[in-house]
Amino acid sequence: MFERILIANRGEVATRVARTCRRLGIETVGVSVASEEGALHVEACDEHVTVGEDASGYRDVAAMVKAAKEAGVHAVHPGYGLLADEPEFAQAVESEGLVFVGPAAERFEAARDRLAVRSVARECGVRLLDGSERPILEPNEALPDVDRLGYAVVVKPVRGVGEPPDLPIAPDVAGLHEALQSLEPLAEHRGAYLERYVDRARHIEVQVIFDGEEALVLCDREVSLRRGTHRLLSESPAPALNQLHHRDAVRGAIWDAAAEITTRLGCRGLASCHFVLDSDDVFYFVGFTPGLQLEHPTAEMCTGLDLVEMQLRLAVGESMPPEVTRAEATGASLQARIEASSDPSTGRPFESRVESARWPPAPQGKVRIETGVRHGTRVSPEHAPTVATVTTYAPNRHDALLMLDRILAEIHLAPLVTNLRLLRKALNHESLRAGQYDEGFLDRI
């Protein structure tokens, strides 16, 4: 196992990775920028280094690699978000003789081409949404695709992993022009492509682990509850699948598709395959994300695995850990994402501060609270609005949902304005309690 690693991230994910490293006896080096010295994620690590003056330091590949070399680490864990989605970072880490805890740079680069990933899925015989077959590099190149697909369509950049956080829907030619303009210059994204829009879609992710030879599915989760570009609720297993008449057959088909796509793409470590389920209960593959994701605690609670530990063991060269082959998902787990109030025009949180923070008790195995804030923490527009995630587990969905609502009710963060009331309103809605919701649910309520 590694003796010393750099955690190239901040906030709740850095504290979460540090916790596993501490349990495994691995020394951790955290990173911060000058405006965040003394942050909770810094204190969670054994040492820390400064990578810049402001938030741009967290995306500075050269500064991160320099920090890793000077700190004498053996590996770099990117967490999720920020540089975790950049193949260039993996390449820079590997070029210095360090281990990147994630997919190898070459495989990572291939998985960051969404059209190439669609081609792999097609070769696997997996159903895809009708869409473009080649990148659109000029706006007028989209017109033949629209003539074939009809409106409405979604516009996606070719370069990127998984589902884009901002997914513009074009209901007509004006909307299409506006969506393509938002990606200008298109060449920087390797172009764009269109996909048929699915109204009232339900979004399902399949958690996969791949050791270079074998891909095993751990569980599935639903992430249909969204506000703007952020998914606010994750639950495993996916209720959208549980409610199907032929749920076992559909779940088996989706799991098989996820395992086959992951094997073909060859991204060693963790990965999530994204699917949408339409109103006719037909599923379509829509994206692939290598590495750790914010929603991973739901998989951990249902399987009993520590996915960060599994990442580290695969990164050090082990084959599939025996715990994974024996794992079987049981019960139900729900996770809520707590966010600071944000400016609608930028998606960034308003400047604020946490003067009072109270977190309720978290019984081991039943409740997990991951946070990067505490008394005195400054919430800045420089960073993403996520301040914590709360994950609960119970033998059934109903009990896990009630427990999550109860925990959220006891959280106190002041004077910071958050989405806690919205989350509780959703959790107490009869449709969500029945598992009947989709991506447009929050807009309607």
pLDDT digits (tens, 9 = 90+) for 55-102: 889 999 999 999 999 999 999 999 998 899 899 999 999 999 999 999
The answer on pLDDT for 158 being more than 90 is yes
Please report the pLDDT score of residue 348 as a whole number: 84
Do the domains spanning 4-101 and 130-196 agree at the CATH topology level? Answer: no
Residue 45 main-chain phi, psi, to 5 deg: -100, 160
**Residue where the block lists tokens 């109860």:** 406
**CATH number of the 4-101 domain:** 3.40.50.20
* Extended beta strands in 211-331, E state: 215-227, 230-236, 269-277, 283-290
The continuous run of DSSP H or E covering 44 comes out as none
The answer on pLDDT for 228 being more than 80 is no
Q: How confident is the model at residue 319 (pLDDT cuts 50, 70, 90)?
A: very high
Going by their DSSP bridges, the two strands 27-32 and 4-7 should be labelled as parallel
Q: Record the pTM.
A: 0.94
Sheet holding 27-32, edge to edge: 47-50, 27-32, 4-7, 75-77, 99-100
For 184, other C-beta atoms within 10 Å of its C-beta total 11
Residue 369 Cα distances to 298, 360, 384, 404, angstroms: 12, 9, 18, 11
Domain regions of the chain by residue span = 4-101, 130-196, 199-330, 332-440
**CATH number of the 332-440 domain:** 3.30.470.20
**Residue where the block lists tokens 């598992």:** 435
- Residue in 201, 183, 202 with CA at minimum distance from that of residue 193: 183
**CATH number of the 199-330 domain:** 3.30.470.20
Helix (H, G, I), strand (E, B) or coil at 66: helix
The answer on pLDDT for 178 being more than 80 is yes
Burial (CB count <10 Å: 0-12, 13-18, 19+), residue 180: buried
How far, in Å, CA of 401 to CA of 222, rounded? Answer: 14
Please report the pLDDT score of residue 231 as a whole number: 93
Q: How confident is the model at residue 344 (pLDDT cuts 50, 70, 90)?
A: confident
Please report the pLDDT score of residue 40 as a whole number: 86
Give 199-222 pLDDT, tens digit per residue: 999 999 999 999 999 999 999 999
How far, in Å, CA of 42 to CA of 420, rounded? Answer: 26
Give 419-444 pLDDT, tens digit per residue: 999 999 999 999 999 999 999 999 88
The CATH T-level fold of domain 130-196 is Dna Ligase; domain 1 (3.30.1490)
Helix (H, G, I), strand (E, B) or coil at 293: coil
Sheet holding 202-210, edge to edge: 283-290, 269-277, 202-210, 215-227, 230-236, 332-339, 386-394, 367-371
* Inter-residue contact 110 to 265 (CB < 8 Å): yes
